[in-house]
Structure 1
């Protein structure tokens, strides 16, 4: 049987591009998002049949919702070889504004807790599959879509940067926990990708990349089982510099960075 990939946030952007790339490689698809009708319409447009792909409605910020979707996938399609926690949101916040504390909570709930809730229901089945010497499937892989924004905290992007930094650390911890049990954890940190998430950005986006190009690079990284990768390559060099840049220079460089749009803007 062809391998199965489970992708959250698959109704648009990176998630949809990843779904297409995996389909082109001959994989079966389990696609998850809140907008089920949009996913199904896209599958129809691509000529992808019900035998090749199934859609599941879920909100990753609600643990029970995504866990139910995962259980439905296990029952209907079997154990995924790759699980990609891609769903996420990006909203600006201002700590001095009371209602923005709820914004930060929402971002963390979706981008961090949603990732953990996506992985959780598959671990037992994926471990059992990895321990089975007769299983035709290769080692199971959990993929966390983080962001280069998780490398350093950008002014005006507190909630998003904090959530992606947490996602990077979470995946790093999980990688150490699961390696001895036959599972791989891959962390991907996109730079600026042309998606609905970045359309509202009012600041320069260097090395802007199409979602399809990102998906192609991501597919290769996941197949290789890399532990961490920034995509595209030029942004990886920027990330390396940002990691080691002294605070005094970092603060000076980004002091006039435009604030990310807030929820009510």
Structure 2
């Protein structure tokens, strides 16, 4: 019997690349995103076997919506072996601008509450079964704060801490929790960045390394490893030197005016 993977944010970027790699590895797919057309178009383009995937439309920022998608997966395909909470957004913010507080709230709703809500339908059942793997997609940006990127950096730091907490809660249950921290991945999310992106890698290359890490049983992995080393060095820098290093660095685009 084939394994089943449940992936959010499956309409583009890392989500699609992970879906493709898991499919090649023999998994059936439960794909979740707001845009059904993009998911179906991608499935058709790659000639996926219609017996091996289902599409679920959900907004991860809406708890009821993503929980309902998880419950629909349980009904239609059964309990997944692997759940990847990949959906995320990245928008620049300026705390001096009143409207950017809404940007922060939306970022946390997708990247944090949405991640927990993605896992929620499966945790008790996986614990009861005694097997399963929950994967949270964090970011190297969660290791140190970047100017103009407060919402995203804070949300990804929260993903790292949340997954660590959940891993402790599920210790000994047979259910694994994996935290993956991508560096710069070539996706629609990063292509508008106005600053240098060292060690930029393709989404398929990331997906290959990510699945390898998951199946190797790791609990935490930065991909690529060079970015992990750079992040550790940045973490060790004194604040004054870190601040000086980032002085004048171009900032992430803010949301366009409503």
Do these two structures clear the TM 0.5 threshold for a shared fold by scoring above it? yes
Question: Normalized against structure 1, the TM-score is what?
Answer: 0.96
Partner in structure 1 of residue 39 of structure 2? 39
Equivalent runs, 1:46-195 vs 2, <5 Å: 46-130=46-130, 139-195=131-187
Q: Please give the secondary structure, in 1, of the residue aligned with 2:170.
A: helix
2:223 to 219, 226, 231: 231
Distance 1:262 1:102 in 2: 12
How many residue pairs get aligned? The number is 257
TM-score, normalising length: structure 2: 0.98
Query: Which residue number in structure 2 is paired with residue 255 of structure 1?
Result: 247
CA contact (8 A) 1:91 1:261 kept: yes
Trace 1:210-229 onto structure 2 (pairs within 5 A).
210-229=202-221
Distance in 2 (CA, whole Å) between partners of 1:7 and 1:129 is 20
Which residue of structure 2 lines up, in the alignment, with residue 244 of structure 1? 236
Q: Is the 8 A contact 1:185 1:225 kept in 2?
A: no
Q: Does the residue aligned with 2:172 lie in a helix, a strand or coil?
A: helix
For residue 32 of structure 1, give the secondary structure of its aligned residue in structure 2. Answer: strand
Aligned structure 1 segments of 4 or more residues deviating by more than 6 angstroms: none
Deviations 1:199-226 (A, max 9, x none): 1101100000000000000000110121
Aligned twin of 1:205 = 197
CA contact (8 A) 1:58 1:66 kept: yes
* 1:136 aligned residue: none
The whole-number CA distance in structure 2 between the counterparts of 1:242 and 1:187 is 20
Runs of at least 5 residues in structure 1 that lack an aligned partner in the other structure: 131-138
User: How many angstroms does 1:68 deviate by?
Assistant: 0.4
Contact 1:191 1:235 in 2 (8 A): yes
Task: Give how far 1:256 is off.
Answer: 1.4
The answer to whether the aligner puts 1:14 opposite 2:19 as a matched pair is no
Unaligned runs of 5+ in 2: none
